[in-house]
Amino acid sequence: MRKWRTTLLGLIAVLGATMTGCWQETKPPENASPSFRGVTVKVGALDEASLLAGVTAHGGEWKASREGAIAIREQPVTLGTATEVDVLLFPGDRLGDLIDADLQAAIPNEAVMPPVREATVPGEPSRSAETAGEAKPAEDPYDFMGVAAPYRDQVTRYGNERMALPYGGSALVLVYRRDAFEREANRTAAADKGIKLEPPKTWGQLDALAQFFQGRDWDGDGQADHGISLVLGVDPEGLGNATFLARSASLGQHPDQFSFLFDSDKMAPRIDAEPFVEALGGLIALKAAGPPKLETFDAAAARQAFRTGKVAMLIDRAERAASWSHGKPVGVAALPGSERLFDPASRTWTTPPQRNAPSYLPHGGGWLVGVRKGLSGTPLDAAIDLAKYLSNPDKSDRIRAERAFPMLPFRAAQMGEGLPDPASSPDVDTRLWSEAVGRTFAAAQTVVGLRIPGADDYLAELAEGRAAALGGTAP
């Protein structure tokens, strides 16, 4: 009897569901994944094919949930072949070139911003969002507002349009040997010279620390050590230019001025203005506070010098933490600022009420994912959906942990989670790393690396000018 009763109840349930279906149209869940069955999205990377590691490793879930296909172009894409892919991964500093070549489609704000639910009062008709005081955003699995402000407001935008979504971040930090700063003999010697052994707040303090450590046996092994390692020479990563522009920004990015590298009204270059000249002079002086031939160092040489354990400080990109470990505790801090500030309007130096410390983001902010112009209908929807998938909270967290192409998180919540791959950086203090990265992206001002058309040519000339100054030409 129990079996018959169970079967009878099941039949009633089935009949009820069937009858309900006749009277009321069923709707898919609000956050159900869209279906792109039969659609193939072609994906490529501009200049750097290793950017595709994240798509290769984590694209399977998109294919399974959307019933679509992903075709990965394994060879690097150029501006001439960019029309052969639908979704493009690229360095942020190439955005101007892509816009100039009319290759990128704008991504509508509604594609990443959740719609506003209409608020209703029981017994009354639904009211629009404009008139409903209780109207709230719908659930937002993409969590656009969780993206750090520089990426929401600057890095992914070009003019008034959003031309890409973030894929991975980049930022400069100061790396230092903790034992050099904490050894009691060093503390005593520094105090006698009026120097505090702590991460510097200003570039002047950094210079003083580098000079203090230079030639001193600060690790107690009986041999003289060095103060700082950094990129001063011409290097393919552009780290030398980035370090110079970061120091220049602290002196020349006025909080009341939009302009930095160019006068925004006349588009006249400001690269020979006082803040840039002073910043270059300060970096040239650091030649005497580092290992031999520091003026020729590229990024690989600068990191190698720090890994030998004979250099107290290093300026590097935070995402390269795996290259710092050498068996001793490593600390990390945000780059310093300046107590002096140049006012381009009055062309005078001023003392701001608080330290001027804008962040400088190299590579045009990092790496982006964009959609090819010319797509429409379902192929366009699929391309935008894949771009969102690659930068959503879950996938972006996994992609940044890929060792093949290290990148920083661009979501605020992820910055507090520490190093994406702690096992690769066993000596690095993960708390200090998180604080330095978080402070960099939360700065009151952010200068995004040059992204105008032809940015590579401008930066190549800048590198030549820096090299000439390091060789003896006046800054």
pLDDT higher than 90, residue 231: yes
Contacts of 67 (CB under 8 A, 6+ apart): 35, 36, 37
In this predicted structure, what is the pLDDT of residue 33?
A: 82
Q: Which residue has the tokens 């501006």?
A: 79
In this predicted structure, what is the pLDDT of residue 140?
A: 73
Contacts of 291 (CB under 8 A, 6+ apart): 226, 229, 305, 310, 311
Query: Which DSSP helix (H) or strand (E) runs through 313?
Result: strand 311-317
- The neighbour count for residue 395, using CB atoms within 10 Å, is 19
**Of 12-21, 394-403, 422-431, where does mean pLDDT reach its minimum?**
12-21
Residue 138 tokens, joined: 């719908």
pLDDT higher than 60, residue 31: no
In this predicted structure, what is the pLDDT of residue 14?
A: 36
- The neighbour count for residue 173, using CB atoms within 10 Å, is 25
- The neighbour count for residue 174, using CB atoms within 10 Å, is 22
Q: Please give the average per-residue pLDDT across 436-455, as a whole number.
A: 96
Q: Please give the average per-residue pLDDT across 389-411, as a whole number.
A: 90
In this predicted structure, what is the pLDDT of residue 440?
A: 97
Helices (H), 127-219: 149-150, 178-182, 184-192, 203-213
pLDDT higher than 80, residue 363: yes
In this predicted structure, what is the pLDDT of residue 113?
A: 84
**Of 20-34, 108-122, 269-283, where does mean pLDDT reach its minimum?**
20-34
**Which SS3 state, helix, strand or coil, does residue 337 take?**
strand
Task: Check residue 366 and give left, alpha or beta (phi > 0: left; psi -120 to 50: alpha).
Answer: left
pLDDT higher than 80, residue 244: yes
pLDDT tens, residue by residue, 406-428: 999 999 999 989 998 899 999 99
Residue 474 carries which DSSP code? Answer: -
Mean residue pLDDT of the chain comes to 89
In this predicted structure, what is the pLDDT of residue 9?
A: 38
- C-alpha closest to that of 247 among 199, 290, 283, 271: 283
pLDDT higher than 90, residue 249: yes
Please list the residues that pair with 330 across neighbouring strands: 177, 428
In this predicted structure, what is the pLDDT of residue 125?
A: 52
Please list the residues that pair with 371 across neighbouring strands: 87
The span from the CA of 202 to the CA of 337, in Å, is 5
In this predicted structure, what is the pLDDT of residue 401?
A: 80
pTM as predicted: 0.88
Query: Which DSSP helix (H) or strand (E) runs through 176?
Result: strand 172-177
Work out whether strand 40-45 and strand 87-91 pair parallel, antiparallel, or are unpaired. Answer: parallel
Residue 205 tokens, joined: 């303090």
pLDDT tens, residue by residue, 124-170: 554 444 444 445 455 678 999 999 999 999 999 998 999 999 999 99
Beta strands (DSSP E) in 194-273 are 226-229
In this predicted structure, what is the pLDDT of residue 139?
A: 66
Give φ, ψ of 397 to 5 degrees: -65, -35
Residue 181 tokens, joined: 């700063």
Which one has a higher pLDDT value, 20 or 375?
Answer: 375
pLDDT tens, residue by residue, 193-210: 999 999 999 999 999 999
In this predicted structure, what is the pLDDT of residue 450?
A: 95
Task: Check residue 393 and give left, alpha or beta (phi > 0: left; psi -120 to 50: alpha).
Answer: alpha
Contact 43, 386 (CB under 8 A): yes
Contacts of 352 (CB under 8 A, 6+ apart): 255, 339, 341
Please list the residues that pair with 341 across neighbouring strands: 350
- C-alpha closest to that of 90 among 431, 99, 147, 352: 99
In this predicted structure, what is the pLDDT of residue 454?
A: 95
Contact 75, 32 (CB under 8 A): no
- Cα dist from 431 to 333, 416, 418, whole Å: 10, 8, 6
Contact 303, 323 (CB under 8 A): yes
pLDDT tens, residue by residue, 297-354: 999 999 999 999 999 999 999 999 999 999 999 999 999 999 999 998 899 999 999 9
Q: Please give the average per-residue pLDDT across 17-24, as a whole number.
A: 38
The span from the CA of 426 to the CA of 371, in Å, is 38
In this predicted structure, what is the pLDDT of residue 241?
A: 97
Residue 55 tokens, joined: 């798509």
Give φ, ψ of 122 to 5 degrees: -50, 130
Work out whether strand 165-169 and strand 366-371 pair parallel, antiparallel, or are unpaired. Answer: antiparallel
In this predicted structure, what is the pLDDT of residue 451?
A: 95
Residue 129 tokens, joined: 């969002």
The span from the CA of 419 to the CA of 409, in Å, is 10
Contacts of 372 (CB under 8 A, 6+ apart): 82, 83, 85, 86, 87, 88, 103, 104, 105, 383
Biggest distance spanned by C-alpha atoms of the chain: 100
Which one has a higher pLDDT value, 7 or 118?
Answer: 118
The span from the CA of 134 to the CA of 149, in Å, is 26
In this predicted structure, what is the pLDDT of residue 131?
A: 43
Which one has a higher pLDDT value, 329 or 19?
Answer: 329
Taking the C-alpha atoms of 241, 247, 253 and 259 in order, what is their torsion angle to the nearest 10 degrees?
-10
Residue 191 identity (one-letter amino acid)? A
Q: Please give the average per-residue pLDDT across 261-284, as a whole number.
A: 94
Contact 332, 245 (CB under 8 A): no
